[in-house]
């Protein structure tokens, strides 16, 4: 009996397992494969559709694209294609998208190209010839028309007139269609020359604490000198004048006059055409530092912090001095390895003409150098870079030495860009120093020829390499050595 009972129970179990397995296999057989479901569609055709004239050929457009017939379609690749088409400078607007076509996709390239600049016309130029203006314009004919290029041309015309004493000159431009079907255009510059006359005088009114001479030194807009053709003095640029007025305000504010205001700027022409600029100033009262407070420090004393800052209680208030003192405090902490330090200076007006300053300090934790990593140096050897770095693994992460190391690397002349970054690690208090460089050309080839009564015709050729390495064949670069050879005959 026991045997029969066991056999019946085993039979039921076997049937259940068989039933579940069969259902699972049937479900899997009826489901489409994951790979097939996720496979991207194949590009069957590419259609270039133009809005406006086709000033760039279909073949040129397809040559710029990585999307090709027969390859899988990808939105990421399409975005790359859009950027590539914009980078040609010949495309104003472009969209790339797919439409179902058979068992694949049809790619649509909807493009609006730029018109071609075929003519440049300059109206209103009588004192300086249009031919000379066009020569200095910097805008090329038979190239795609770009508004930013025309704007640079407008600025060139302004500079040319200002160099000849026409400080009131006004220049505008517009674009006219020549042939809408072919997509060609004309740029028309209109010049209002104004009256000729350089800036002869820059003077101030209302300034009782600083002389005109001191205030003029803060400005780039200057009175005309004998060397105006070199130093560009006597020219009036409205944008530069506004920058100069801001520099004057900052000068006053850095000497305690935080309420200073430029009330008015007048420009007057003399009978000879010379331009006089008068700047009216309201200086306001001078402010001093009231109470100086430090909060949040733990690793040092208030006495040491006060010794670092130069602007003390009772000193003339200066926004620039606050920035300088905050930097000095950061360097003092940074030399001790406090990489994550933050210092926030806050000001408040306590009493009449007194400003309280509070430095809020969050020291963070002292850090040590775990490792120094270097990247971007495809030619220069690591050891050439490392010998300029003033800290090593295991040292306190001295931010001042890191900054000095950065300047030493920049001064080598091998790199167009040098960046240094502290990078967190999994170990608290340990950081990587990441040095990233971008290399530049360090070699030069010079040649020339001359004539002397003694040697008749002479010539020379000279090759120099500032980052030479005789062992690195065939480039012979990257060792940080100097090489120079000159042949003359």
- For the chain, the domains span 43-113, 116-192, 199-282, 288-361, 368-439, 443-488
**pLDDT at residue 428 above 60?**
yes
Predicted pLDDT at 53: 84
User: What mean pLDDT is predicted for residues 241-247?
Assistant: 95
pLDDT in tens, 154-177: 999 998 888 887 878 899 999 999
Whole-structure pTM value: 0.61
Q: 233-237, 397-401, 414-418: which has the highest mean pLDDT?
A: 397-401
Predicted pLDDT at 409: 93
Predicted pLDDT at 471: 64
Q: Are 313 and 287 in contact (CB under 8 A)?
A: no
CATH code of the domain made up of 199-282 = 3.10.20.310
Per DSSP, helices labelled H in 169-259 are 212-216, 228-231, 238-253
SS3 174: strand
pLDDT in tens, 283-312: 999 999 999 999 999 999 999 999 999 999
Averaged pLDDT of the chain: 85
Is there a shared CATH topology between the 43-113 domain and the 116-192 domain? yes
SS3 209: coil
**pLDDT at residue 111 above 60?**
yes
Q: Helices 399-411 & 319-334, crossing angle to 10 degrees?
A: 100
CATH 1.25.40.340 holds for 368-439: no
pLDDT in tens, 185-213: 999 999 998 877 788 899 999 999 999 99
CATH 3.10.20.310 holds for 288-361: yes
Predicted pLDDT at 18: 41
Choice between 483 and 64, residue whose per-residue pLDDT is larger: 64
pLDDT in tens, 375-386: 998 888 888 899
Could you tell me which residues are beta bridge partners of residue 279? 204, 265
Per DSSP, helices labelled H in 355-395 are 382-386
Predicted pLDDT at 197: 76
Predicted pLDDT at 486: 64
> pLDDT grade, residue 229 (50/70/90)?
low
The dihedral through the CA atoms of 100, 101, 105, 106 has a sign that is negative
CATH 3.30.465.10 holds for 116-192: no
pLDDT in tens, 13-44: 444 444 434 434 444 444 444 444 568 899 99
CATH 3.30.390.50 holds for 43-113: no
SS3 per-residue string spanning 72-121: ECCHHHHHHHHHHHHHCCCEEEEEEEEEEECCEEEEEEEEEECCEEEEEE
């Amino acid at each position: 009996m026991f045997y029969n009972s066991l056999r019946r129970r085993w039979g039921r179990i076997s049937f259940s397992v068989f039933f579940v397995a069969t259902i699972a296999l049937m479900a899997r057989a009826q489901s489409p494969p994951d790979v097939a479901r996720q496979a991207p569609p194949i590009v069957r055709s590419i259609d270039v559709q133009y809005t406006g004239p086709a000033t760039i050929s279909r073949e040129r457009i397809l040559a710029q694209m990585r999307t090709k017939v027969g390859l899988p379609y990808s939105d990421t690749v399409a975005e790359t294609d859009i950027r590539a088409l914009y980078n040609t400078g010949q495309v104003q607007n472009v969209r790339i998208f797919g439409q179902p076509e058979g068992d694949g996709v049809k790619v649509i390239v909807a493009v609006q190209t730029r018109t071609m600049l075929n003519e440049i016309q300059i109206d209103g130029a009588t004192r300086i010839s249009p031919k000379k203006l066009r020569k200095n314009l910097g805008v090329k004919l038979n190239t795609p028309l770009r508004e930013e290029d025309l704007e640079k041309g407008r600025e060139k015309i302004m500079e040319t007139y200002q160099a000849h004493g026409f400080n009131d000159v006004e220049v505008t431009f517009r674009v006219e269609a020549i042939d809408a079907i072919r997509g060609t255009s004309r740029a028309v510059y209109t010049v209002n020359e104004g009256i000729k006359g350089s800036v002869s005088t820059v003077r101030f009114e209302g300034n009782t604490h600083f002389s005109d001479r001191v205030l003029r030194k803060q400005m780039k807009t200057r009175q005309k000198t004998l060397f105006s053709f070199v130093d560009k003095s006597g020219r009036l640029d409205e944008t530069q004048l506004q920058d100069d007025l801001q520099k004057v305000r900052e000068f006053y504010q850095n000497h305690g006059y935080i309420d200073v205001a430029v009330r008015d700027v007048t420009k007057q022409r003399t009978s000879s055409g010379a331009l006089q600029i008068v700047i009216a100033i309201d200086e306001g009262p001078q402010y001093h530092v009231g109470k100086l407070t430090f909060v949040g420090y733990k690793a040092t004393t208030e006495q040491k912090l006060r010794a670092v800052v130069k602007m003390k209680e009772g000193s003339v208030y200066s926004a620039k001095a606050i920035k300088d003192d905050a930097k000095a405090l950061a360097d003092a902490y940074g030399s001790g390895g406090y990489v994550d330090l933050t210092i926030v200076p806050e000001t408040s007006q306590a009493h009449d003409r007194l400003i309280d300053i509070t430095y809020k300090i969050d020291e963070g934790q002292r850090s040590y150098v775990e490792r120094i990593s270097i990247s971007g140096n495809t030619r220069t050897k690591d050891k050439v870079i490392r010998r300029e770095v003033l800290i090593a693994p295991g040292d306190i992460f001295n931010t001042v030495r890191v900054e000095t190391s950065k300047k030493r690397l920049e001064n080598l002349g091998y790199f167009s860009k040098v960046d240094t970054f502290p990078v967190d690690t999994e170990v608290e208090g340990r950081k990587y120093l990441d040095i990233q460089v971008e290399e530049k050309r360090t070699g030069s080839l010079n040649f020339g020829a001359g004539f002397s009564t003694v040697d008749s015709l002479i010539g020379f050729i000279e090759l120099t390499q500032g980052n030479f390495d005789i062992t690195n064949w065939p480039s012979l670069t990257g060792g940080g050595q100097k090489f120079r050879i000159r042949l003359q005959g």
